[in-house]
């Protein structure tokens, strides 16, 4: 029983399940306490009371449980905001009127010099007071505060603004004046304005013609015209460079992944090769004969089992030996081409035993096979842990979604 518990503790899946369960339990406890730890306040006479929102914050609503004897019912309660007293409302109206002159300025510095649109707000912030507007000159400004430049002069035009303040059925008004001037423009903006005016005038004068005559002279200065450079070709260039970069990075990543896959596959095949080699050597075959047998067996079954890099290199080495290359050198080159330390060790070991004789080779290969199978078990364990780690990301994403589904509605229902 103790062994089973220990195995569960060492199992990554069980550990992750435990973590998720613990986090869910903590989230449940926090939300439950937040939702259910509130108590109804009482006044000095022991009566149950609910706090009102301050003026301007609007009404609040909530669900309460009413108990009458053995009967319990859920009651929806709506609480209006606290209202101003008559004295307070008079002060609030007065203060709101004074504040309006600064609240509506927008980008302007003073109500005495208005050169850009005003922001004629419809509500005083945090007060519950609504505002409506009346103007004495709608040719200069509209009800939203937008300025009509065509009607303005450099001396400015005085516009009377009347703000009607409302709170419930109570109303008050506040009057003040704004002097509106044409917007200040840079030399370039003024020049552009004149060009626009000339083009509009030319358009009106040549409506019956097949073409529009562009002005060639503005304020005594010659104007030359050309089409604006179209930059969409640069977009194509940028997209092409981006696509080429992505293709290069993608190809490089593919090669890297293919190399990792190749090394992993060769590490997996190594114990099998060592075991076969040990079996043939133990049966009395020479190194060359054992090598050729393994290579021929692979070549015979290749169409069925598919290509395997370690065996393909063995085939290449066999052909090198058959072509007259030094046998020991071929074994060493085999290990180098494989690019894995275990194969380099294997190739060096065969080359050395070829020179020194094969005495004790069986024992060496047996130990090598045991080490190879142990390494293969460790590799399989590592791959399993990596797979488990990759699964953590979607699991935590699911946990986050569950947490949001549980907590967000709970927070929205807390209104009292």
pLDDT in tens, 94-128: 888 888 888 888 888 888 888 888 888 888 887 78
Distance CA 386, CA 99 (A): 64
* Portion of the chain with pLDDT greater than 70, in percent: 83
Using only the alpha carbons of the chain, give its radius of gyration.
44
pLDDT at 313 over 80: yes
159 strand-pairing partners? 178
pLDDT for the residue numbered 128: 80
Mean pLDDT of 156-173: 86
Mean pLDDT of 389-412: 74
* Among the listed residues 66, 96, 263, the one whose alpha carbon sits nearest the alpha carbon of residue 171: 96
* Among the listed residues 328, 368, 326, 319, the one whose alpha carbon sits nearest the alpha carbon of residue 348: 328
Distance CA 289, CA 411 (A): 77
pLDDT at 416 over 50: no
Summarised one tens digit per residue, pLDDT across range 279-291 is 887 777 888 888 8
CA dist list (Å): 158 to 125, 171, 304, 336: 27, 26, 96, 93
Residue 71 vs residue 384, higher pLDDT: 71
CA dist list (Å): 168 to 55, 56, 99, 164, 172: 12, 11, 20, 13, 11
Residue 238 sits at the vertex; the CA angle it makes with 234 and 241, to the nearest 5 degrees, is 135
Average predicted confidence (pLDDT) for the chain: 78
Mean pLDDT of 284-308: 85
pLDDT category of residue 415 using cuts at 50, 70 and 90: very low
Summarised one tens digit per residue, pLDDT across range 46-76 is 676 777 777 766 677 767 777 787 777 777 7
Residues 238 and 343: beta-carbon distance below 8 Å: no
Judged by average pLDDT, the poorest of 4-8, 43-47, 331-335 is 4-8
Summarised one tens digit per residue, pLDDT across range 184-241 is 777 777 777 778 888 888 888 888 888 888 788 877 778 888 888 877 778 788 888 8
């Amino acid at each position: 029983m103790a062994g089973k518990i220990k195995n569960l503790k060492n199992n990554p899946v069980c550990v992750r399940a435990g973590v998720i369960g613990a986090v869910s339990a903590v989230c449940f406890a926090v939300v439950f306490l937040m939702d259910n730890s509130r108590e109804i306040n009482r006044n000095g006479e022991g009566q149950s009371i609910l706090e009102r929102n301050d003026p301007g914050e609007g009404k609040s609503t909530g669900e309460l449980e009413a108990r009458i004897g053995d009967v319990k019912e859920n009651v929806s309660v709506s609480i209006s905001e606290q209202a101003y007293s008559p004295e307070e409302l008079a002060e609030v109206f007065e203060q709101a009127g004074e504040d309006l002159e600064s609240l509506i300025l927008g980008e302007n510095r003073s109500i005495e010099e208005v050169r850009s649109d005003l922001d004629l707000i419809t509500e005083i912030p945090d007060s519950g007071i609504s505002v409506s507007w009346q103007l004495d000159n709608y040719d200069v400004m509209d009800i939203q505060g937008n300025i009509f430049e065509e009607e303005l002069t450099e001396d400015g035009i005085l516009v009377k603004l009347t703000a009607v303040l409302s709170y419930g059925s109570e109303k008050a008004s506040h009057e003040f004046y704004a002097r509106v001037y044409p917007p200040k423009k840079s030399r370039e903006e003024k020049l552009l304005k004149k060009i626009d005016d000339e083009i509009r005038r030319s358009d009106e004068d040549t409506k019956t013609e097949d073409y529009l005559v562009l002005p060639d002279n503005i304020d005594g200065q010659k104007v030359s015209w050309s089409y604006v450079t179209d930059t969409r070709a640069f977009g194509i260039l940028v997209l092409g460079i981006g696509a080429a970069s992505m293709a290069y990075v993608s190809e490089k990543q593919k090669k890297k992944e293919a190399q990792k896959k190749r090394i992993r596959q060769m590490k997996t095949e190594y114990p099998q090769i060592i075991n076969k080699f040990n079996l043939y050597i133990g049966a009395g075959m020479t190194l060359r004969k054992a090598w050729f047998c393994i290579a021929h067996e692979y070549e015979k079954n290749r169409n069925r089992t598919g290509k395997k890099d370690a065996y393909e290199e063995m085939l290449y080495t066999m052909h090198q030996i058959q072509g007259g290359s030094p046998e020991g050198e071929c074994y060493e080159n085999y290990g180098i081409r494989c690019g894995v330390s275990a194969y380099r060790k294997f190739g060096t070991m065969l080359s050395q035993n070829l020179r020194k004789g094969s005495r004790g080779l069986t024992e060496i290969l047996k130990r090598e096979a045991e080490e190879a199978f142990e390494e293969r078990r460790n590799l399989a364990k590592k791959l399993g842990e990596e797979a488990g780690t990759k699964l953590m990301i979607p699991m935590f994403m699911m946990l986050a979604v569950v947490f949001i589904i549980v907590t967000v509605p709970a927070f929205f229902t807390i209104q009292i």
